[in-house]
Amino acid sequence: MLPLLLLQPAAQPTGTALTASNSENLVSGMVSNGDYRIYNVEKCDYNVTLFSVYPVFAAHQIEWNTMGKTMAWWSVLIGLPKTADISETEKVRFYASGAKHVAKVAKGLHLTGKRVLDFGCGLGRLSFAFANQLGATVTCVDQSVHHLRIAEQEWAKRKKAGAVEFVASSPDLLAPMAKTRFDFVHSVIALQHMVPALQVVYLEQLCDLLIPGGSGWLQIPHKTPGADTGCDMGASIRQGGMQMHSTPLHALKKLFRRRGCRADITDAGRSYIGDDAGRSAFVKLRKRKAGGEPGQSAEAQSATP
């Protein structure tokens, strides 16, 4: 039986380095070459396995599911009513705002008919736009089954093109995707509410899920104010509520490089995080093409024997 690895001082994140070129290790984010996969959380100066992040994930998952029951729309876009439902007029505006965002981040990327992963999709505000505007096949991933249930109901009423599937996530993001890989990965206003260890776990796997030559657009804070670094996961559980956490710019570049992704990172000021919450970053990803035919779509790859 493999030993249970919790937290350990950062020394050699050998697990992550070894998995980057071995496709057999990409079926699950839990293991690497017969051992537990190790994630290096540079900001906190320690390594973690998925076992060590499940308690903090579960604690906040309960909170997000509770909000999904009682105030789902507000929890996704502050400014909407803190109620279980909102008017159709408000919903139309809500989904229209997603269309504007997708038009901006997908500009020039030729995503029509491609596979898109929308991480932290909430109520499908952006997933619907990727499908309806671009005809993409979208996987809408969120930790809250209650948000996803509402999203699925809304998609049935608003579908115009493409396709959307709804997947409840855990820290092992690779496992429910099986062998599916994506042309484009996307996340906004989601990673910021996770402790740095979870940010690293998900960011690495988002790179893993790209096809060779695939791309991505991610938003994440790179600096947050105050003494709370988010590194004490027990403290995060005790604090509860909607939190704001960050991963520094230099650490972002290094973790993507380990997984075979080039990251072009732009300081985005206070975009998406508010006036007193620190500084945000926009990350444009490109997966290294070695090991796959340049430009081949995820759909084409999945059809290859």
Reported as a single tens digit per residue, the pLDDT across 233-260 is 999 999 998 899 999 999 999 999 999 9
Which pLDDT does position 301 carry in this prediction?
43
Confidence label for 6 from pLDDT (cuts 50, 70 and 90) = low
| β-sheet bridge partners, residue 39 | 48
Distance, in Å, from the CA atom of 6 to the CA atom of 139, rounded to the nearest integer, reads 31
**Distance between CA atoms of 172 and 169, rounded to whole angstroms?**
7
pLDDT digits (tens, 9 = 90+) for 8-66: 555 444 433 333 445 556 789 999 888 899 999 999 999 999 999 999 999 999 999 99
Type of residue at 54: Y
pLDDT of 295 above 50: no
How much of the chain exceeds pLDDT 90, in percent?
72
Please tell me the distance from the alpha carbon of residue 247 to that of residue 279, in angstroms, as a whole number: 11
pLDDT over 50 at 5, yes or no = no
**Model confidence pLDDT, tens digit, residues 162-209:** 999 999 999 999 999 988 999 999 999 999 999 999 999 999 999 999
**What is the spatial distance between Cα 91 and Cα 97, in angstroms, rounded to a whole number?**
10
Arithmetic mean of pLDDT over the chain: 87
Confidence of residue 270 (pLDDT cuts 50, 70, 90): confident
Structural contact between residues 281 and 249, judged by C-beta atoms closer than 8 angstroms: yes
pTM value is 0.87
Q: Check residues 212 and 294 and name the one with the higher pLDDT.
A: 212
